A and B are shown apart, each in its own frame.
Chain A
Amino acid sequence: MEKKIGVYICKGCGIADAVEVEKLVEVAEKEYKVPVCKTHDILCSPEGLDLIKGDIKGEGVNAVLIVACSPRAKHQEFSFNGTVVERANIRELVAWTQPPKEEETQALAEDYVRMGIVRTQNSDLPEPYLLEQPSKDILVIGGGITGMTSALGVADAGYKVYLVEKGDELGGWASRLHKQLPQRYPFEDLEEPTVKATIERVRSHSNIEVFTSSEIDKISGFPGQFEVEIKTADGLQKRIAGAIVLAAGFRPYDANKLEHLGYGKSPDVITNLQMEEIASKGRITRPSDGREVKRVAFIQCAGSRDPNHLPYCSSYCCLTSLKQASYVRRLNPDAMAYIIYKDMRTPGQYELFYKKMQDDPGVMLTKGEVTGVDVSGGSLYVSVKDTLLGGDVKIEADLVVLAVGMEPNTKVEPEELAKWKKIYDEQLAASGGKPDPNAPLEPHKVPNILKLQYRQGPELPVLDEAYGYTDSNYICFQYETRRTGIYAAGSVRQPMNMLQCIEDAMGAAMKAIQCVEAVANGYSVHPRAWDQTYPEVNLQKCTSCKRCTEECPFGAIDEDEKGTPYHKMTRCRRCGTCLGACPERVINFKDFNINMIASMLKNVDVPEEGLRLVGLACENDAYPALDAAAIRREKLPPIRFVPVRCLGNLNLAWIADALSKGIDGVILLGCKFGENYQCHFVRGSELAKERLGKLQETLGRLMLEPERVELVQLSISDYDKLPQILDDYVEKMEEFEPNPFKEF
Chain B
Amino acid sequence: MAEQVIRPDLDFVKGVIAAGGDTLKRCYQCATCSVVCNVTPDNNPFPRKEMVWAQWGLKEKFIGNPDVWLCHQCNDCTAYCPRGAKPGEVLGAIRKQTIAQYSSPKFLVNIVNDRKYLPLLFIIPALILALAANFDIPSGKIVFTNMFPVHTIQIIFIPALAFGVIVGLLGIKKFWQDMKQRYGCPDCTTTNLKNSVIEALKEILPHSKFKNCGVNKDRYTSHLLVFYSFVSLAIATSFGVLYIDILGKHSPFRFGYGTPVKLFGLIGAIGLLIGIILMIKNRYANAPKVGLGSYFDWLLIGIISVIAASGILSWLTRLAGIAILAYPIYFIHLVFVFSLFVYLPFSKLAHLFYRTTAMVFNKYSGRDRAQAEG
The chain A residues found within 8 Å of chain B, CB to CB, are 295, 334, 336, 338, 344, 355, 358-367, 381, 383, 388-396
Residue of A nearest to B15 (CB): A361
Q: What residues of chain B lie closer than 8 Å to A395, measured between beta carbons?
A: 5-6
A341 to chain B, nearest CB (A): 10
B1, B3, B6, B29: residue with the most chain A Cβ atoms closer than 10 Å: B6
Given known A-B contacts A361-B25, A392-B1, A366 and B52 have beta carbons under 8 A apart? yes
Q: What residues of chain A lie closer than 8 Å to B48, measured between beta carbons?
A: 388
Contact of B10 among A362, A389, A396 (CB under 8 A): A362
Given known A-B contacts A381-B5, A393-B4, A334 and B10 have beta carbons under 8 A apart? yes
- B6 and A396: CB pair below 8 A? yes
A357 to chain B, nearest CB (A): 9
Contact of B26 among A359, A364, A367, A393 (CB under 8 A): A359
What are the 8 A-B residue pairs with the smallest beta carbon separation, nearest first?
A361-B13, A395-B6, A364-B56, A394-B3, A392-B3, A394-B5, A359-B25, A388-B29
Residue total for B at the interface (Cβ-Cβ under 8 A): 24
- A336 and B6: CB pair below 8 A? no
Given known A-B contacts A359-B25, A363-B25, A393 and B5 have beta carbons under 8 A apart? yes
A370 to chain B, nearest CB (A): 13
Residue of A nearest to B83 (CB): A355
B28 to chain A, nearest CB (A): 7
B85 to chain A, nearest CB (A): 9
Contact of A361 among B17, B28, B58 (CB under 8 A): B17
**Cross-chain pairs A/B with CB under 8 angstroms, 26 sampled:** A336-B8, A336-B10, A338-B56, A344-B28, A355-B26, A361-B10, A361-B13, A361-B14, A361-B25, A363-B25, A366-B52, A366-B56, A367-B29, A388-B49, A389-B6, A389-B52, A389-B56, A389-B58, A391-B4, A392-B1, A392-B3, A393-B5, A394-B3, A394-B5, A396-B5, A396-B7
Is there a chain A Cβ closer than 8 Å to B57's Cβ?
Answer: yes
Bound CA–CA A527/B52 (angstroms): 51
A336, A383, A389, A391: residue with the most chain B Cβ atoms closer than 10 Å: A389
Q: What residues of chain B lie closer than 8 Å to A391, measured between beta carbons?
A: 1, 3-4
Q: What residues of chain A lie closer than 8 Å to B29, measured between beta carbons?
A: 366-367, 388
Q: What residues of chain A lie closer than 8 Å to B8, measured between beta carbons?
A: 295, 336, 338, 364
Is there a chain A Cβ closer than 8 Å to B55's Cβ?
Answer: yes
- A394 and B25: CB pair below 8 A? no
A94 to chain B, nearest CB (A): 51
Is there a chain A Cβ closer than 8 Å to B53's Cβ?
Answer: yes
- B58 and A358: CB pair below 8 A? no
Q: What residues of chain A lie closer than 8 Å to B17, measured between beta carbons?
A: 361
Bound CA–CA A389/B56 (angstroms): 9
Q: What residues of chain B lie closer than 8 Å to A390, measured between beta carbons?
A: 49
Please count the residue pairs between chain A and chain B whose beta carbons lie under 8 angstroms apart in the complex: 65
B82 to chain A, nearest CB (A): 12
Q: What residues of chain B lie closer than 8 Å to A344, measured between beta carbons?
A: 28
Q: What residues of chain A lie closer than 8 Å to B10, measured between beta carbons?
A: 334, 336, 361-362
Bound CA–CA A393/B49 (angstroms): 14
Q: What residues of chain A lie closer than 8 Å to B3, measured between beta carbons?
A: 383, 391-394
- A360 and B25: CB pair below 8 A? yes
Bound CA–CA A353/B55 (angstroms): 18
Q: Give 16 A-B pairs besides A361-B13, A383-B3, A395-B5 with Cβ atoms closer than 8 angstroms.
A: A295-B8, A338-B6, A344-B28, A358-B26, A358-B28, A361-B10, A362-B13, A365-B55, A388-B29, A388-B49, A388-B52, A389-B58, A391-B1, A393-B6, A395-B6, A396-B5
A295, A358, A388: residue with the most chain B Cβ atoms closer than 10 Å: A388
Residue of B nearest to A359 (CB): B25
The chain B residues found within 8 Å of chain A, CB to CB, are 1, 3-8, 10, 13-14, 17, 25-26, 28-29, 48-49, 52-53, 55-58, 83
- A394 and B6: CB pair below 8 A? yes
Q: What residues of chain B lie closer than 8 Å to A364, measured between beta carbons?
A: 8, 55-57
A399 to chain B, nearest CB (A): 15
Residue of A nearest to B5 (CB): A394
Q: What residues of chain B lie closer than 8 Å to A394, measured between beta carbons?
A: 3-6
Q: What residues of chain B lie closer than 8 Å to A334, measured between beta carbons?
A: 10
Bound CA–CA A336/B10 (angstroms): 8
Residue of B nearest to A354 (CB): B28
Q: What residues of chain A lie closer than 8 Å to B52, measured between beta carbons?
A: 366, 388-389
Bound CA–CA A388/B6 (angstroms): 13
Q: What residues of chain A lie closer than 8 Å to B6, measured between beta carbons?
A: 338, 389, 393-396
A332 to chain B, nearest CB (A): 11
B356 to chain A, nearest CB (A): 27
Q: What residues of chain A lie closer than 8 Å to B26, measured between beta carbons?
A: 355, 358-359
Q: What residues of chain A lie closer than 8 Å to B57, measured between beta carbons?
A: 364
A549 to chain B, nearest CB (A): 56
Bound CA–CA A389/B8 (angstroms): 12
B90 to chain A, nearest CB (A): 13
Residue of A nearest to B12 (CB): A361
Q: What residues of chain B lie closer than 8 Å to A336, measured between beta carbons?
A: 8, 10
B4, B14, B83: residue with the most chain A Cβ atoms closer than 10 Å: B4
Q: What residues of chain A lie closer than 8 Å to B13, measured between beta carbons?
A: 361-362
Bound CA–CA A361/B19 (angstroms): 13
A319 to chain B, nearest CB (A): 15
Bound CA–CA A367/B28 (angstroms): 9
Bound CA–CA A192/B3 (angstroms): 41
B230 to chain A, nearest CB (A): 37
Residue of B nearest to A358 (CB): B25
Residue of A nearest to B16 (CB): A361
Q: What residues of chain B lie closer than 8 Å to A389, measured between beta carbons?
A: 6, 49, 52-53, 56, 58
Bound CA–CA A639/B230 (angstroms): 85
A334, A336, A361: residue with the most chain B Cβ atoms closer than 10 Å: A361
Bound CA–CA A505/B255 (angstroms): 92
Bound CA–CA A363/B4 (angstroms): 20
Bound CA–CA A390/B44 (angstroms): 10
Residue of B nearest to A357 (CB): B25
Residue of A nearest to B2 (CB): A392
Q: What residues of chain A lie closer than 8 Å to B4, measured between beta carbons?
A: 391, 393-394
Residue of B nearest to A382 (CB): B6
Q: What residues of chain B lie closer than 8 Å to A396, measured between beta carbons?
A: 5-7
Q: What residues of chain A lie closer than 8 Å to B5, measured between beta carbons?
A: 381, 393-396
Q: What residues of chain A lie closer than 8 Å to B25, measured between beta carbons?
A: 358-361, 363
Q: What residues of chain B lie closer than 8 Å to A366, measured between beta carbons?
A: 29, 52, 56
Bound CA–CA A361/B18 (angstroms): 11
Q: What residues of chain A lie closer than 8 Å to B58, measured between beta carbons?
A: 389
B27 to chain A, nearest CB (A): 8
Q: What residues of chain B lie closer than 8 Å to A355, measured between beta carbons?
A: 26, 83
Bound CA–CA A367/B29 (angstroms): 9
Residue of A nearest to B55 (CB): A364
Bound CA–CA A364/B29 (angstroms): 12
Bound CA–CA A496/B10 (angstroms): 33
Bound CA–CA A336/B55 (angstroms): 12
Bound CA–CA A366/B48 (angstroms): 12
B14 to chain A, nearest CB (A): 5
Bound CA–CA A7/B228 (angstroms): 93
B7, B14, B58: residue with the most chain A Cβ atoms closer than 10 Å: B7
Bound CA–CA A367/B27 (angstroms): 12
Residue of B nearest to A381 (CB): B5
Bound CA–CA A336/B5 (angstroms): 16
Residue of B nearest to A395 (CB): B6
Bound CA–CA A664/B112 (angstroms): 92
Q: What residues of chain B lie closer than 8 Å to A361, measured between beta carbons?
A: 10, 13-14, 17, 25
Bound CA–CA A364/B3 (angstroms): 19
Q: What residues of chain A lie closer than 8 Å to B83, measured between beta carbons?
A: 355
Bound CA–CA A392/B14 (angstroms): 26
B48 to chain A, nearest CB (A): 8
Q: What residues of chain A lie closer than 8 Å to B55, measured between beta carbons?
A: 364-365
Bound CA–CA A208/B26 (angstroms): 47
Bound CA–CA A364/B53 (angstroms): 10
Q: What residues of chain A lie closer than 8 Å to B53, measured between beta carbons?
A: 389
Residue of A nearest to B24 (CB): A361
Bound CA–CA A614/B44 (angstroms): 64
Bound CA–CA A336/B56 (angstroms): 10
